[in-house]
């Protein structure tokens, strides 16, 4: 397959060719990050190519995207809390300053992070963290991938059950 999927992540996800996809959600794709210097880093990609910002979506789909971001954030939180006793919290960000596509970052944060960075934005980490092969997504992250995916499934079933109860009124 090569790395062609990296130039069109959303199109590749829609075609089933993006290997980072964890699950398809209501308005996007939950994917695990290419770099894992903070294990569990994930991204929510909008499922419509060409959408650059949240306001490009109709209101109902905006709310679905934000609900998906919440679901992915909770899944990452649950998985990381279970797998790493140093887990602290999850940070959620919709930025869009670099990549012209709607996406949300889900960053787990840990007690073991360097003291000068633990309370600061992830973007202040040294640039080498983003490109160092030690942190590149690989088979060593399979347990983490499976754990986040399983949490997404559980949260999806819970949301489905709540929606059914609400529909019955």
Reported as a single tens digit per residue, the pLDDT across 17-68 is 999 999 999 999 999 999 999 999 999 999 998 999 999 999 999 999 999 9
Reported as a single tens digit per residue, the pLDDT across 87-144 is 999 999 999 778 889 999 999 999 999 999 999 999 999 999 999 999 999 999 999 9
Residue 6: its pLDDT value, please? Answer: 77
Tokens of residue 120, six digits: 């600061």
Strand bridging mode 103-110 / 87-93: antiparallel
Domain ranges (residues) in the chain: 4-168
In whole angstroms, give the CA distance from residue 107 to residue 91.
5
pLDDT bracket for residue 1 (50, 70, 90): very low
In whole angstroms, give the CA distance from residue 99 to residue 97.
6
* Range 1-25 average pLDDT: 86
| Burial track 9-34 (b if 16+ CB lie within 10 A, e otherwise) | bbebbbeeebebbbbebebbbbbbbe
4-168 folds as HIT family, subunit A (3.30.428)
pLDDT reading at 156 higher than 80? yes
pLDDT bracket for residue 5 (50, 70, 90): confident
Q: What pTM value is reported for the model?
A: 0.90
DSSP string, 141-160: GHHHHHHHHHHHHHHHHHHH
Q: Indicate the angle between helix axes 142-168 and 59-83, nearest 10 degrees.
A: 130
């Amino acid at each position: 397959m090569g790395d062609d999927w990296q130039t069109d992540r959303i199109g590749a996800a829609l075609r089933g060719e993006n290997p980072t996809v964890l699950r398809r959600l209501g308005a996007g794709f939950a994917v695990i990050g290419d770099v894992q210097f903070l294990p569990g880093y994930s991204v929510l990609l909008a499922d419509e190519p060409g959408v650059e910002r949240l306001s490009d979506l109709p209101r109902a789909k905006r709310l679905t995207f934000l609900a998906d971001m919440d679901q992915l954030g909770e899944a990452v939180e649950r998985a990381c809390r279970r797998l790493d006793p140093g887990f602290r919290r999850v940070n959620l960000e919709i930025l869009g300053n670099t990549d012209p596509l709607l996406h949300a970052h889900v960053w787990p944060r840990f007690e073991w992070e360097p003291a000068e960075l633990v309370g600061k934005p992830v973007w202040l980490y040294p640039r080498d963290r983003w490109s160092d092969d030690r942190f590149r997504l690989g088979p060593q992250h399979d347990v983490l991938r499976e754990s986040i995916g399983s949490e997404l499934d559980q949260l999806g079933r819970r949301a489905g059950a709540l929606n059914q109860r609400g529909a019955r009124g």
